[in-house]
Structure 1
Amino acid sequence: MLLNVSYSDKNITKKIDDAVGKPIPLKERWAMGGIGSPKLHITEASVEINNLLILDNNLNTCNIELRPKGIIVGFRSRLESYGLIIPYYKLNVYKGEMSIRSIYMDHYFIKVRTDTKAIQKFFRKMLDHRANNLPTNIEDL
């Protein structure tokens, strides 16, 4: 789900926490070596996301935050912050040509450049975290 996360709203926070879990505690963040990605350059996006990105003339960048049950892909448009909330069971990551990775959920997608070792290392960490935390039963959703 695509949400405007610019303002502190209890309803939006509850939706995010229900979908991908509460933020990872600080002690676990240290043990994992961080939960945020480096700056990712967006090369292509789905229609809804692209319509937000073209509203300003800034570089189209995003970042990814790991959560216990999913990820949040965050990006900015004008003065607003948006988050694409993706539970692990809906997350699909594809490796494309020329170091492009595609992140898909339902009808949303974002394609980013993965041309540095730090970004490739983060994607490996994200996919490993997904494998360890993917629900095994339908009741776990």
Structure 2
Amino acid sequence: MLVNVSYNNREVTRKIDEAVGKPFKLKERWAMKGIGSPKLFIAETSIEIRNLLILDNNTDSCNIEMRPKGIIVRFRSLLETFALVIPYYKLTIYKGDFAIYSIYRDNHFIKVKSDTKAIQKYFRKLLDYKADNAPTSIEDL
């Protein structure tokens, strides 16, 4: 689900919380040693996201927030902030050639450069958390 999160809209917040869970508590964030990614530079995206990013001339970048049942990939275009909300059961991550991670959800994708150890360490943490907490059957959803 690709949504505009620039404004405080209760309906959008409810949909996001329903899809990926409420944000982690401070104690949980501390125990996990953080839930946010470093700044990720976008290499390629699906057409719908690309149409949003080409509206301005800034460097295309995003960040990822882990949630109990999924992740939120946030990026900015013009003065708006957009979020790609991905539950763990729909999340697919590939590590491709030339240090690029591909993040997929249905027909949306974002490919980010992983040129530092911090980014690679974050994706390892994300994949480990997904493996431990993703639903194993349809009844767990």
Distance 1:140 1:76 in 2: 33
**Equivalent position of 2:48 in the other structure:** 48
What amino acid maps onto 2:95 in structure 1? K
2:114 matched to 1:114? yes
What is the count of residue pairs matched by the alignment?
Answer: 141
**Equivalent position of 1:101 in the other structure:** 101
Q: Deviations over 1:48-103 (max 9, x none)?
A: 00000000000000000000000000000000000000000000000110100100
What amino acid maps onto 1:3 in structure 2? V
Distance 2:62 2:94 in 1: 17
| Cα RMSD for the two superposed structures | 0.5
Task: Give runs of aligned pairs for residues 73-92 of structure 1, distance below 5 A.
Answer: 73-92=73-92
Distance 1:64 1:132 in 2: 18
Identity within the alignment, % = 69
TM-score (norm 1): 0.99
Question: What SS class does the counterpart of residue 75 from structure 1 fall into?
Answer: strand
Distance 2:103 2:119 in 1: 14
Question: What SS class does the counterpart of residue 128 from structure 1 fall into?
Answer: helix
Question: What SS class does the counterpart of residue 44 from structure 2 fall into?
Answer: strand
Question: What SS class does the counterpart of residue 62 from structure 1 fall into?
Answer: strand
What amino acid maps onto 2:130 in structure 1? R
Task: In structure 2, list runs of 5 or more residues that go unmatched.
Answer: none
Q: Report the Cα offset of residue 137 of structure 1.
A: 2.1
2:125 matched to 1:132? no
Distance 1:66 1:50 in 2: 23
Q: Deviations over 1:37-58 (max 9, x none)?
A: 0000000000000000000000
Question: What SS class does the counterpart of residue 66 from structure 1 fall into?
Answer: strand
Task: In structure 1, list runs of 5 or more residues that go unmatched.
Answer: none
Distance 1:125 1:134 in 2: 14
Q: Which runs of 4+ in 1 moved over 4 A?
A: none
